[in-house]
Amino acid sequence: MGWIKRYLHILQCPFCRGDLELIEENGNKKLICRRCKKTFKIVDNIPILLKDENE
């Protein structure tokens, strides 16, 4: 998960361009937009930031 933390400052929400925050719940990691609160899965250490995959 190291690279996500390292590059989190350049990732943006594809919906509203808000900043993303890395969250861990019940052993699962995900990204959440600080502005619109949409969540994005992380699969095999890859954040899924596609609009269609997270709706």
Domain residue limits at 43: 2-50
CA distance 27 to 30: 10
Q: Tally the C-alpha atoms within 13 A of residue 14's C-alpha that lie toward its C-beta.
A: 12
Q: What's residue 46's pLDDT? A: 92
| 55 part of a folded domain | no
Q: What was the pLDDT predicted at 55? A: 55
Instruction: State the pLDDT at residue 41.
Output: 94
Alpha helices in 1-55 (DSSP H): 2-7, 51-54
Domain count, the chain: 1
pLDDT in tens, 22-40: 999 898 999 999 999 999 9
pLDDT-above-90 percentage for the chain: 67
pTM: 0.81
Sign of CA dihedral 6, 17, 19, 51: negative
Amino acid 2: pLDDT? 82
Q: What is the DSSP string of 33-47?
A: ETTT--EEEEETTEE
- CATH code, domain with 12: 2.20.25
